[in-house]
A and B are shown apart, each in its own frame.
Chain A
């Protein structure tokens, strides 16, 4: 209790200050965590493998895999909510000035899921599988990584779940060190069991059950009826959920929705049409109304908190065009087919609104959400995630998601590589956005509903980077009896 610096004892006696060491999302009533129970999680995607080395082409599968993998396979380091690096399997690390040689001292006493100790050679073997461009060796109880080219951000790269340490016991069996181990991985469900010998302490829950391919509507119904503890929420669900007194966890705005013109509409001659199309977008209404204020307008690919600079530096502000201006375009340029992923209801509603905004100023836009073969579209609304913590890597990953051809077509100028300076990042992003082949629309967080039976001892159930902090979740005993 902090001392009062005021003379009146009445105030002192009456004053009650509860200093909370850990931040809670739960009710103001603090409670001691309880062990046991199964945490039930729903996801719309499904995954086939948690192998860090597995190539995943489906975006939703990749996102879900990035969430789940750290529960089983840990990295040497990870990015915390504040954006800094946190030691995980590596206790500390150092590098030379250029970043050409990195040495990671391993945390002692880590036990793998099969009971064997985690040793340096196992980590080195795992890294050699996932990072073929690096030379990985051991040095006692340390792992030495020498990238092909000096990388000052190598430690950040090792925080990528793709470089999680998965020890291969056999061709098909991987063993991890995370708070949970894989008990079953089927097409519709994954069951993770608590790792009793986890180095940071056994998780509170006995198991985590992740149900795949649950549509947003089903997830919401399950959440409201108490059949699921953690679900994915759409922006339009948040108000309803909060009105019912349920909790919402949000990441940073790491999901970017961006319009990408196909190569046949990306030539310089069509630039005036693309510019006017960009000007027709009403981003703030999309963000504030359609996405219920859970998104923010995006005029740049990178948010300011990730880039460090303002969007105005890289994106031109285009005024809303008049019908006269648009109608002066050739008819073929005024007519567009906008394709959107039919499984992404939020993107679909955004696409409808974009089409409506464009029609208001004279464009003829058809929204296409095909489930089979369909004519080639003129422009696509694509969802891309910011998975890195540095602007250069984030742009590179965005490029990979949007299609390297698109970015290279849009940027005949500067070339971006990992580790590029901020100048280069600015120039590259400006070049990407300059021709209006790539038009950011909105940025939105990933939203999760957290059931009222769930509590957390430390941190948040989902941290701002999207990491699932399930090891610190516990379930109140009154709701423990569940399948």
Chain B
């Protein structure tokens, strides 16, 4: 749930309200869907109707301001789309506090998807909404709930240690300790098309970790103390000794060149992190140095410990909403790891599917943008190979 308006989370989770009083302001709330990672397109169909009602309330040629308070991408998308629609209807989007303010909140309840706007003009507050009923699905007899399962799809394997893989269109980018390589799918197999070495060669920590990130048209390879920048075609490949925050669910300062852990701004070290749907009752989950799965709220305050794991990544179920995470941990008595799927509800973890045993140790487990899938890097100790898997949630057909 994303809110663009006055709500600001203060210290220790207590809400602090910074009102804009005495002014004719209208706060804009954007209600996002209950699934945190749902893109703004989920509510885009509601925005025109909402814009019509807002325009009808304010009148043509009126000025209004939108005051987002959330940094969520989806919330910004809604704000941007609504601003476009309101402009098209003759309203002028202002930034001054004297104008009426519009607060929009988009979300989904059990019956419908809705966007609600509060229009504040001084002490007068109007409410307009646009809703669309969710399709009422009548489950077949015998169905109790849509069952989910972990689906692990192998992507790639090699002898060299894989740190991360990234699929861009039909291509596969592979980051290992030596460098970055790009493959193309042909004849049911991956064929290399380019590779770049990380120069000069570095001495990596024993447990080296790496991450690929696509930022617009740029491709970044994040390693301990090193950032390599290139393009998806690996042009202009250059590596510099620097630390950048890694694309994790928690703010961090990147990976130290001699360490395998990250740190929150508060100094809490962690191995892995994943963002959570609001249904989980927390904002993020981290794996701390004791391998505890710790839920944290918006202020990065630990609020619950739900178990233990080596790594965690968030995934989304295509067939149902809710907060899902995948964790990796060892299987007692074996040298293999297992992937477990958990559904988080009100800070309680419920195992949502049968664990999946992987052929080796999970060396890395990364969420992808959008959180629909995760990437697992497994080391097969017997075969002395590294394999990359795409992890997603499969729903029953």
Hey, which bits of chain A sit against chain B, CB under 8 A?
2, 4-8, 10-12, 14-25, 28, 30, 79-87, 91-92, 153, 155-156, 200, 238, 248-250, 252-253, 282-285, 287-288, 292-297, 299, 304-310, 312-313, 316-320, 389-391, 421-423, 426-427, 430, 444-445, 447, 458-460, 463-464, 469, 472
Contacts and interface: CB of A to CB of B under 8 A. Distances in A.
B259 interface: no
B308 to A, nearest CB: 11
B29 A284 contact: no
A309 B189 contact: no
A10 B380 CA distance: 10
Given A17-B152, A200-B141, A422 B116 contact: yes
B31 A8 contact: no
6 contacts: A17-B150, A17-B356, A28-B355, A84-B134, A310-B107, A313-B31
Interface in B299-323: 301, 303-304, 320-321
Given A285-B12, A309-B31, A319-B16, A11 B110 contact: no
A317 B17 contact: yes
A39 to B, nearest CB: 17
A317 B15 contact: yes
B17 A316 contact: yes
Interface stretch (B88-96, B194-202, B224-232, B382-390): B382-390
Contact of B29 (A310, A317, A318): A310
Given A8-B157, A10-B380, A288-B303, A293 B105 contact: no
Interface stretch (B238-246, B248-256, B346-354): B346-354
Given A11-B359, A18-B355, 16 more contacts: A5-B188, A14-B380, A16-B357, A23-B351, A82-B320, A249-B350, A294-B346, A309-B107, A312-B6, A313-B127, A316-B17, A389-B110, A390-B109, A422-B114, A445-B346, A463-B145
Contacts of B320: 82
Nearest to A465: B110
Nearest to A471: B144
Given A15-B154, A284-B14, A317-B17, A308 B145 contact: no
Contacts of A312: 3, 5-7, 29, 103, 105
Contact of A250 (B16, B105, B145, B345): B345
Given A82-B145, A288-B303, A307-B109, A11 B13 contact: no
B85 interface: no
> Which bucket holds chain B's interface residue count?
35 or more
Contacts of B295: 293
Given A250-B345, A305-B109, A460-B350, A5 B153 contact: yes
A297 B13 contact: yes
B396 interface: yes
B373 to A, nearest CB: 14
B155 interface: yes
3 cross-chain pairs, A with B, having the tightest CB-CB distances, nearest first: A317-B17, A284-B13, A83-B110
Contacts of B206: none
Nearest to B138: A87
A252 B345 contact: yes
B306 to A, nearest CB: 8
A352 to B, nearest CB: 19
B174 interface: no
B147 interface: yes
B278 interface: yes
Contact of A282 (B14, B107, B345, B359): B14
Contacts of B105: 309-310, 312-313
B111 interface: yes
A37 B19 CA distance: 61
Nearest to A312: B7
Contact of A11 (B138, B297, B383): B383
Contacts of B330: none
A282 B149 CA distance: 39
A317 B103 CA distance: 15
A83 B131 CA distance: 17
Contact of A293 (B139, B156, B304): B304
B394 to A, nearest CB: 7
B142 interface: yes
A8 B385 contact: yes
B352 A308 contact: no
A372 B376 CA distance: 62
B71 interface: no
B112 interface: yes
A464 B139 CA distance: 17
B48 interface: no
Contacts of A249: 350
Given A313-B29, A426-B127, A86 B139 contact: yes
Contact of B31 (A5, A297, A310): A310
Given A312-B3, A313-B116, A295 B154 contact: no
